[in-house]
Amino acid sequence: MGDELKSAYELAMEKLRERDSAEALAQLTEEQKQQIARVRDASRAKLAELEILHRSAIDHARAKGDVEKIVQLETEYQQDRDRIEREQEDELRAIRERSGS
């Protein structure tokens, strides 16, 4: 979930990505910037929807006292988050690479 603590490595990598992103953004066309914004917005929406559904499913499993289901839901949630984030990065990379063409 979003409240998890991040390791120093994860925080450092995040800062590097942000810095690299800011530098790369300056070299992109307006169209590419708009495409990147749309991809990020879509990913944020997918993640928000996923979290809402996840919380609902977790609440339901807790109400039943189904610990195994909670563990399964947590695993699936993390896998889905990772997939959405990978897809976003792949889309952003493709947009950025078009600038080099």
How many domains does the chain divide into? 1
In a domain, 95, yes or no: yes
pLDDT in tens, the chain (101 residues): 444 677 787 878 787 777 666 666 668 889 999 999 999 999 999 999 999 999 999 999 999 999 999 999 999 999 999 999 999 999 999 998 886 55
Report if residue 35 sits inside a domain: yes
In a domain, 23, yes or no: no
DSSP label at residue 28: S
Following DSSP, what letter does each residue of 38-97 receive, concatenated?
HHHHHHHHHHHHHHHHHHHHHHHHHHHT-HHHHHHHHHHHHHHHHHHHHHHHHHHHHHHH
The answer to whether residue 64 sits within a structural domain is yes
Is 39 inside a domain boundary? Answer: yes
- The domain containing residue 34 runs over which residues? 30-100
**In-domain check, residue 43:** yes
Whole-model pTM: value is 0.71
- Residue 5: inside a domain: no
